[in-house]
Chain A
Amino acid sequence: MTPVDPRLLRYARATAGHLAVLVAFGAATAALVITQAGLLADTIAGVIEHGTTLAALGTPLVLLAAVIAARAVIAWATEAEGHRASARVKSTLRRRLLAHVVDLGPAHLTDRRTGRLVTLATTGIDALDGYFAKYLPQLVLAVVVPAAILARVLPADPIAAITIAATLPLIPVFMILIGLATRAATRNRYDALTRLAHHFLDVVAGLPTLKVFGRATHQADTIRRITDRYRKSTLATLRIAFLSALVLELIATLSVALVAVGIGLRLVGGHLDLRTALLVLILAPEAYLPLRAVGTHYHASADGLTAAEEVFTVLDTPRPDTGRAAPPADVTDLTVDAVTVTHPDRPEPAPDAASLHLTRGHIVAVTGPSGAGKSTLLSVLLGFTPPDSGRVLVNGHDLATLDPDRWRRHVGWAAQQPYLFTGTVADNIRLGAPTAPDTDVTAAARDACLDVPLDTPVGERGTGLSAGQRRRVALARAYLRHADLLLLDEPTAGLDPDTEARVLARLRTLAAGRAVLLVSHRPAALAAADTVVDLTPALR
C-alpha cells in the first residue's frame, strides 16, 4: 500500500488540490516551529546570560504569543481542510462507484456482493476521513518539517545537523523493514481475530439450538479456551510487531539525547554559544515528532485506503460490451434458440439449451422445478445475462446486437420478488413510466387486480403490503409500460384461487396486443397459456 494511491488522484481530482494546500500548511508550520524555537532560544539565553527584564522581553513575548496562536490556527485549518477535502473526495468516489456498478448490470451483483458494496459505499468510504484529515497532513508534515529544521540547524551547528540527518532516514527505513517482516504475522493475527469473532458470533446466534441440546453451558469453556489460545498467539506476534515501535522510539529519543550531549560538550569546549545550543536542543525533537506521528495515524487511514482500493477494483472492472443497434419499432416475434447459461457455482447449466417461440397475441408459459433456469431465461431476455451458447432473435435480429437500454423499452417485466421503493403504491407502479397520467395508473392497477388504494404508503422494501400485493404492484408496473413483450415471473404465486383466476383473465385480454412469457408452476397459470414449455432437465 503506497502512501498516496495514484488512482486516488486519477479518480478524485480534489485530492491533488488538497495535497497542494497541505504542503502550504506544512511549510507554514515548519516556519512557525523554527521561529518559535529561535524566539525561545533568544529569550532563555538572554535571561540566563544577561538577566533580561520582563519589560525588555515585551516584543519577543508578543511575537511568541503570535507564533503560538498561528500554529493553533494552522492546526485547525489543516484538519478542517482535511475534512472538507474528504467530503468532496468521498462524494466523488461514491457517485462514480454506484454509476459504475449500475453499468456493470444486475448479473454482476450477487447477494453477497451487493451487501459488500452497500457497506463499501456507506461506512467503507466514510473511513477515508481518517486518511484525509489525519494521515495525509501528517505525511506532508513528516516530509516538510524535518527538511526545514535540517536547513536551519545546518548553518548553526553542522555536527548536530549531520547527527539528525543520519538518523532521521532510519525511521522510515525501519518502519518499512519491520512492516514487511511483520506483515504476514499481522495478517495472521487479523485473520485469527476475525475467526474468533466469527466463532463467538456463531455460538451466540445458535444459543437457542445449543440450549435445546443442553450444550450451552459447555460452550462457555470452549469460548474461554479459544480466547486464551488467541491471546497467547497474539502476544507472540505483538512481541515482534511492537519491536518496530521500540526501534522507532529508540532512534528518535536516543538521537535527541546524542544531540543534547554533543552540543553540551561543544558548549563546554567553547565551540558553540548558548543561544545556538538551545535552538538546536529545541528543534531536534521537533524533527522526529512528525515522522513518528505518521505511524500512529497510519492505522486510522488503513481502513479508508482499503475501502478506496476496493472502490478502484470495482471502477477498473470493464463495462460489458453491449450491442448498439436500434431494436425494431414493433416487436412481434421472439425466438429463443437453444439458450444455455452456466453458473459459476453449479455443475449443471440452467437453462440448458432452452428453445421457444413467441408471437404477438400469444401467451407462452415456462415451467420446471426450481433451479431449472426459468428466472435466468427471463434475465437473458432482459439483456442482463448473456447466454453462454444459443441466441435470442427479436423479429429475426440477434438480441446481442441490440442496444439493451432501448430494447428494454419494449419489455414489461414483473420480477418474482419485486423490489418496492419507499413511497406510495402509485409511485411504485410509475417506476417505468414516471409521467403516466393517473387514469393509466388506475387502469394498470385494475388490470393487475390490485386491491389496495393507490395512495397506500409503502415502507422500505415494500413493508406494509403482503407478498401477494407486492407481486400485483409489480404486475401493474409491467402493464403500465404498454410494452410489446411482457415477461412475468410467477405473477400469481401466493394469490388465492379467486384472485389468481381474475388476474389470468385480465392477462388474456391484455395479451391480444402483445406477446406474453409467463413463468409459473401453478396449474391455473399453465392452463391459461397457449403453449407450455417445460424446462425440467429430464424431460428434454
Chain B
Amino acid sequence: MSGDIRHVLRLGRTARGRFTLAVLCGTAATGAAVALGGTSAWLIARAAQHPPVLYLMVAIVAVRAFGLSRGVFRYAERLIGHDTALRVLGRLRVTVYQRLAALAPAGLSTERSGDLTARLVTDIDSLADVWLRLLLPYTVAGLVGAGTVAFTAWLLPTAGIALAATLLTVALASPLLAGRISRHAEARIAPLRGRLATRTVDLLDATAELAAHNATTAALADYADTDRDLARAERRAATGQGLAAALATLAGGAAVWAAVTLGTPAVRHGTLTGLLFAVLVLTPLAVHEAFAALPPAAAQLPRLRGATRRVLAIMRRPDPVTDPTDPADDPTPPYHLRLRGVTAGWDRGDVLHDLDLDVPAGARIAVTGPSGSGKSTLAAVLLRFCDHTGSITLAGTELSTLTGDTVRRHIGLCAQDVHLFDTTIAENLRLARPDATDDDLHHALTRARLDEFVAGLPDGLDTFVGEHGSRLSGGQVQRLALARALLADPPVLVLDEPTEHLDEPTAAALTRDLLAATAGRTVLMLTHRRADLDAFDTVYDLRSGRLVPGVSTTPHTHRDRTFVP
C-alpha cells in the first residue's frame, strides 16, 4: 500500500476503535462460513461411520450455530463499517475544508474551475472508501485466511502451504494481473475515448451550426467512424478482461486439487484420519468463496490512489499568506490606505512591480487597465489573499502585522467572480452581517437598486437564488453582491471589475448605481472600462504591473474591445 494511502488512514485514526469492532464482526462472519464448511464435512464423514446420534450432537449444533451467526455478524460488520466510514468522511471533510480555507483563493488557483472543485469534493468522499471497501475486506480476509491456513497446516503442513499459496494468488496476484491488464487496455482506449468525447461535444454544442450549414450528416458520419474505432479497440481489449477472474477460479480449484493429492497418501500412511481428510478437502472451497470478494475490492485501488494523491497534494501545499503570531492592534480611523514599493505575484512570477498608491480616507480612486495588467492581483494583495514585498499600511498599520480576517473586516471586496450560495437572498446577504435585520437587508438592496426586484418576487427575501445564482440575471447577481458588500460596511471597499460579465447597457447602468451607492465612502475601483470615470477623484492606469498616473484620457487600444468614448 502506498505511503499516501497510509497518510489518509492516519487522518481517520479516531475511528480506529470502531474499525476494529467492524473487523471483529467481519472475521466472525467469514470465519463462521469457513467453519460451517469444515464442520459439515466432518459431520458427514463421521455420520458415515454410523455412530450413535448423540456423538454427532455437538457437530449438529455447531453447524446450525455457524449457519445462523454468519448472517448476524455480517449485518453487524456492515453497519459498523458504514458508521466508521461516515465518521471518517465527516472528519476528512472538515480537515480538508480547513486546509482549503487557509489556501483560498490564491493557493487554489489551479482548482478554480468548477469541474476541478467538483472532482476534489468527489475525491474527498472516495477517501472514506479506503476504509470501507479496501481495508475492511482485506483485513477480515487476512485474519480468516491466516486462521484457516494455520488449521490446515496443523492437519497436514504441505496442504497448509498449498492453501496459503492459492489464497495469496487470489488476494494479490489476481488483482495485480487485473491492474496491469486494465492499465494496458486503458492506455490504448483512453485517447480514443477522448476523441469521441470531443466529437460528442462538437455534435451537441454545434447542433444548430451543423444543421444550418447542412453539415449534420457529415458530422454524424465522422462521429460514427470514431465510435467504430473505439468499439473495435474495446473489443480487442476485452480478451484480457476475464483473465484475472480465471486466475482466481483456477486458484480455488487448485487448492482443492492439492488437498486431495496431498491428503490421499497421508491417509494411506496413517498421518491423517479419513474424517479429517474430508475436512481438509472441503474447507478450501469455503475459504476461497470468501476470498472471491477481494479482487473486486482491489480493483478500486487505482481510483482511490488517484483521489488520495490529489487530496494530499492540496493538504501539503504551503500557505500563500501566514498570519502573524502576535497581531498588532486593529487600525483606527481615519483609514488611509498607502502602498509603497509593492511587488507581488503568483506562482508564475511577479505581476505587480514596485507599485505606489495612496487611497486617502473618503477618496474614490479608479485603477484601469486591460485584463492581465494586474488589477486582480492588486485586489488579492489588499485582501491579504496573496503575499507581497514592500509596504502596505492601513491607518499606519502594516497589513502583514494583522491577521487576514482583521484586514478583511476593514477592506472589503466586491469582485467579478462573486459567488452566490445556493440558498435564499436573505441568507446570502446575512453572510456579510449575520445579525442584520430585514430592514438592514432592504436598505442595502435599495442602495444596490435591487429592492424593487426583490419586493416583486413572491417569496421576497426568502427567494432561492439557485446554484451559483442561476435564477438571477448577470446584472442581478452583481447587484446582490454589491448589496452584500455594502451590508458588510467595510471602511475601504475594493470593487474588482464588477461589470465584467455584463452586456454594455447593463454595465453602464450598474456602474452609475455603484457610484451612487458608494457615495461618501473610501472606494478603490479596478476596471477595464474607460467609461463613467468622471466621478472618481483620481484615475490611474495599470500597465504591466506599474501604475501610470494621469493618463486616463488616453484610450486603450486593446484589440476587439471597444470603449464608449
Interface residues of A (CB under 8 A from B): 36, 40, 43-44, 47-49, 51-54, 57, 61, 64-65, 67-69, 71-73, 75-84, 86-88, 90-91, 94-95, 98-99, 101-102, 105-106, 109, 114, 117-118, 121-122, 126, 133, 197-217, 219-220, 223-224, 227-228, 230-231, 234-235, 238-239, 242-243, 245-250, 253-254, 256-258, 260-261, 263-265, 267-268, 270, 273-274, 277-278, 281-282, 285, 289, 296, 369-370, 379, 382, 384, 404-405, 408-409, 411, 413, 415, 418-419, 421-422, 431-432, 434, 460-461, 466-469, 477, 481, 494-497
> CA of A253 to CA of B219 in the docked complex: distance in angstroms?
57
Extra contacts, 16 of them, besides A203-B421, A418-B209 (Cβ < 8 A), are A40-B281, A48-B275, A53-B264, A65-B253, A88-B235, A98-B200, A122-B193, A197-B121, A211-B104, A212-B413, A213-B408, A254-B64, A261-B43, A419-B209, A494-B560, A494-B562
Residue pairs across A and B with Cβ atoms less than 8 A apart, 21 shown, are: A48-B267, A48-B277, A72-B253, A83-B238, A201-B121, A220-B101, A227-B89, A228-B90, A231-B87, A242-B78, A263-B47, A264-B59, A265-B47, A273-B48, A274-B48, A285-B285, A285-B289, A419-B209, A432-B215, A481-B213, A494-B560
> CA of A272 to CA of B417 in the docked complex: distance in angstroms?
81
Q: What are the residues of chain A within 8 A of B289 when measuring CB–CB?
A: 285, 289
Q: What are the residues of chain A within 8 A of B94 when measuring CB–CB?
A: 220, 223-224, 227
Asked if B238 contacts A80 (CB within 8 A), the reply is yes
> CA of A369 to CA of B562 in the docked complex: distance in angstroms?
19
**Which residues of B1-60 are within 8 A (CB) of A?**
32-33, 36-37, 40-41, 43-48, 50-51, 53, 56, 59-60
Tell me whether A277 and B44 are in contact in the complex, defined as CB-CB below 8 angstroms, given that A211-B385, A415-B208 are known contacts.
Answer: yes
Asked if B249 contacts A71 (CB within 8 A), the reply is yes
Nearest-CB residue, chain A, relative to B77: A242
Q: Which of B47, B124, B562 contacts A268 (CB 8 A)?
A: B47
Judge whether B117 is part of the interface by a CB distance below 8 angstroms.
yes
Interface string of B373-415 (1 = CB under 8 A from A): 0000000000101000000000000000000110011001101
Interface residues of B (CB under 8 A from A): 32-33, 36-37, 40-41, 43-48, 50-51, 53, 56, 59-60, 63-64, 66-68, 70-72, 74-75, 78-79, 82-83, 86-87, 89-90, 93-94, 97-98, 100-101, 104-105, 108, 114, 117-118, 120-122, 124-125, 193, 196-198, 200-216, 218-220, 223-224, 227-228, 230-231, 234-235, 237-243, 245-250, 253-254, 256-257, 260-261, 263-265, 267-268, 274-275, 277-278, 281-282, 285-286, 289, 293, 383, 385, 404-405, 408-409, 412-413, 415, 417-422, 431-432, 467-468, 484, 488, 503, 505, 559-562
Q: What are the residues of chain A within 8 A of B117 when measuring CB–CB?
A: 201, 204-205
Asked if B227 contacts A94 (CB within 8 A), the reply is yes
Asked if B44 contacts A263 (CB within 8 A), the reply is yes
Nearest-CB residue, chain B, relative to A112: B470
Q: Which of A101, A214, A223 contacts B207 (CB 8 A)?
A: A101
Tell me whether A268 and B214 are in contact in the complex, defined as CB-CB below 8 angstroms, given that A76-B246, A204-B120, A211-B104 are known contacts.
Answer: no
The 5 closest A-B pairs by CB, nearest first: A257-B67, A68-B253, A79-B242, A432-B213, A83-B238
Asked if A213 contacts B432 (CB within 8 A), the reply is yes
Asked if B281 contacts A44 (CB within 8 A), the reply is yes
Secondary structure of the A contact surface, majority rule: helix
Asked if B40 contacts A281 (CB within 8 A), the reply is yes
> CA of A381 to CA of B32 in the docked complex: distance in angstroms?
74
A352 to chain B, nearest CB (A): 19
Asked if B47 contacts A264 (CB within 8 A), the reply is yes
Asked if B86 contacts A234 (CB within 8 A), the reply is yes
Tell me whether A238 and B78 are in contact in the complex, defined as CB-CB below 8 angstroms, given that A201-B121, A211-B404 are known contacts.
Answer: yes
Asked if A384 contacts B412 (CB within 8 A), the reply is no
Q: What are the residues of chain B within 8 A of A51 when measuring CB–CB?
A: 267-268
A124 to chain B, nearest CB (A): 11
Asked if A214 contacts B264 (CB within 8 A), the reply is no
Asked if B71 contacts A249 (CB within 8 A), the reply is yes
Q: What are the residues of chain B within 8 A of A245 when measuring CB–CB?
A: 71, 74-75, 78
A348 to chain B, nearest CB (A): 14
> CA of A122 to CA of B104 in the docked complex: distance in angstroms?
32
A1 to chain B, nearest CB (A): 22
Asked if B241 contacts A79 (CB within 8 A), the reply is yes
Q: What are the residues of chain B within 8 A of A84 when measuring CB–CB?
A: 234-235, 238
A56 to chain B, nearest CB (A): 9
Asked if A72 contacts B559 (CB within 8 A), the reply is no
B275 to chain A, nearest CB (A): 8
